[in-house]
A = this chain, B = another copy of it.
């Protein structure tokens, strides 16, 4: 396959992608007390520890008859995990003993179905692999009660399967990566309107399986709002729903598949509402006295149906840090000095010239009325230029002995302050002198999401335990304060212990009953979600 491949130990292609600017070293020193020098590097592929494949000859032959099968070390190591902090710690250390025994890549929905049936019969655990971008352990190579594990690579289910211009409805292969989907749609004058930070690698099916929210979801909607229909191959057969704009025909089965994270089956096709390519895009910044003033302004916009397509309000610390890392330009420095202690809101509008002009005018007026002062397009353009940079920079930070974790939640407007404060306190109490950043984004009439980034000097002896303590403290705080354990990163293995606190015992039981029905052999993505 000629698809681009990510490095096995981090984000992006080898040697490509954004890096930390040179002047970041000073910032790391003053803020986190680390030297800024490279203290650790990932192992080479040759150094990775890998057990021989446990796939027997008979099974290998059977699966190879149904799909492309690869069991060379590079393939197994490259499909071993996702991209969570823990995943990267292990991959960088060459700890791939548990790697899948083979990577199996079927070429069609029917082939996926056949592979699942074969695996169910043989008792082989299956981890579906879309873009491989999970940051919550969604791809951990857990075998459950099975001895053999395969990674089911959806990479060959790609491209536009059918396109209905009149209904603005595109059927895409579940394994289609977002940039490729947008490229193909763009040739017809459309776009997905879905841009999570994992955009470069994430797949359409993976987004649906994890209830992804893109950076413009305030305007374009979360993935589940744009999935009109989908097809999901399960060991027990196919789950699919009619491509109709709305229905009252019973509980929404597509809403069960969305968020199922591979524990029921594999999303082979997604029927998505797509958006006309925007003639205009405008990103700009507004400053607010403090975080609360900013989110009150956002609340007003959301409740008056005037929210921009993109809305991201950084707290005081994130605002300070973004200027500090933005570069050494005199202009940025000056703006950073003026905005010290303030909060920057980035707004973005995309659409026709008329729509962007009109909506921007109304929103800008409301924001000024709510105490915001306009900063022009520079902060907006700066955000847009680095919108996918975060996970690339994480690799550089890991090299420099910095722990970096992102976590996100959502709650009602009334509960936002309490939630922010509880999570910040938990991170500050569980990490050594961390830097905790927060932004509010994805605004809704009833509430918003909060996204935290925590940096700290890495514990050189046991970074995994250090991370676990912080994760435990932060998630306990979220649950105790009534936030959701995840607004868009999904549950995976990392949040699974807390799912019951969110769904209740019967809710968990219902999910188990559902899994039992679709996957009686328990082969699908063991150890995730429930």
Binding site for B on A (CB under 8 A): 164, 166-169, 210-213, 222, 224, 228, 234, 236-253, 255-261, 273, 276, 299, 303-305, 351-352, 355, 358, 410-414, 442, 444-449, 482-491, 495, 499, 502-507, 509-511, 513-514, 516-518, 529-530
Q: A166: which B residues are within 8 A, CB to CB?
A: 299, 412-414
CB < 8 Å: which of B250, B352, B482 contacts A529?
B250
When the two chains form their complex, are residues A247 and B446 in contact, meaning their CB atoms are under 8 A apart?
no
Shortest CB distance A250–B (Å): 5
Name the contact of A510 in the complex, choosing from B412, B488, B509, B518 (C-beta under 8 A): B518
Contact flag A242-B212 (CB < 8 Å), given A247-B410, A258-B251, A488-B248 = no
A449 and B247 alpha carbons, distance in the complex (Å):
9
Q: Which residues of B are found within 8 Å of A228, using beta-carbon distances?
A: 446
Q: Top 4 nearest A-B pairs by Cβ distance?
A: A255-B255, A245-B444, A211-B248, A245-B447
18 interchain pairs (CB within 8 A)?
Answer: A166-B412, A166-B413, A168-B446, A234-B506, A236-B509, A240-B504, A241-B507, A243-B412, A243-B446, A244-B484, A245-B445, A246-B444, A247-B502, A248-B484, A248-B488, A251-B514, A509-B517, A510-B517
Q: With A164-B412, A413-B166, A518-B506 in contact, is A250–B239 under 8 Å at CB?
A: no
A413 near B167 with CB under 8 A, answer yes
User: Contact between A250 and B244 (Cβ–Cβ < 8 Å)?
Assistant: no
Select from chain B the residue with minimum beta-carbon distance to A510.
Answer: B517
Question: Would you call A447 and B513 a contact (CB within 8 A)?
Answer: no
B residues within 8 A CB of A507? Answer: 239-241, 253
**Contact, CB under 8 Å: B355 / A305:** yes
Q: Which residue of B lies closest to A479 (CB)?
A: B242
Decide: A445 near B168, CB < 8 A? Known: A236-B506, A259-B251, A503-B253. Answer: yes
Q: Would you call B167 and A412 a contact (CB within 8 A)?
A: yes
Residue in contact with A245 in the complex, picked from B168, B250, B446, CB distance below 8 Å: B446
Identify A487's interface contact among B247, B256, B513, CB under 8 A: B247
Please, which residue of chain B has its CB at the minimum distance from the CB of A411?
Answer: B244
Smallest beta-carbon distance A433→chain B, Å: 31
Chain B residues closer than 8 Å to A252, beta-carbon distance:
224, 252, 255-256, 258-259
* Identical chains in the assembly: 2
Contact partner of A242 (CB less than 8 A), chosen from B213, B484, B489, is B484
A246 to B218, CA, bound (A): 11
- Give the residue among A246, A414, A485, A495 with the most B Cβ atoms within 10 A: A246
CB neighbours (8 Å) of A484 from chain B are: 242, 244, 246-249
A358 to B447, CA, bound (A): 26
Other contacts beyond A249-B499, A514-B514: 18, CB < 8 A: A212-B248, A213-B248, A237-B504, A241-B503, A243-B482, A244-B483, A244-B487, A246-B488, A251-B255, A251-B256, A251-B257, A251-B260, A252-B259, A253-B510, A255-B255, A255-B256, A509-B517, A513-B517
User: Which residues of chain B come closer than 8 Å to A276, judged between CB atoms?
Assistant: 303
Residues of B within 8 A of A503 (CB): 241, 249-250, 253
Nearest Cβ on chain B to A506's Cβ, whole angstroms = 4
Q: How far is the CA of A304 from the CA of B355 in the complex (A)?
A: 9
In the complex formed, the residue of B with least CB distance to A530 is B250
Cβ of A242: which chain B residues have Cβ within 8 Å of it?
482, 484, 502
Residues of B within 8 A of A259 (CB): 248-252
In the complex with contacts A241-B507, A244-B412, A256-B255, A499-B446 CB distance below 8 A = no
Bound complex: CA A276 to CA B445 (Å): 11
Chain B residues closer than 8 Å to A505, beta-carbon distance: 237
Q: Is there contact, CB below 8 Å, between A304 and B352?
A: yes
Point out which of A236, A245, A413, A448 has the most chain B C-beta atoms below 10 A from its C-beta.
Answer: A245
Judging by beta carbons under 8 Å apart, are B222 and A246 in contact? Answer: yes
Cross-interface CB contact of A246 among B299, B351, B442, cutoff 8 Å? B442
Contacts of A514 in B (CB 8 A): 251, 510, 513-514
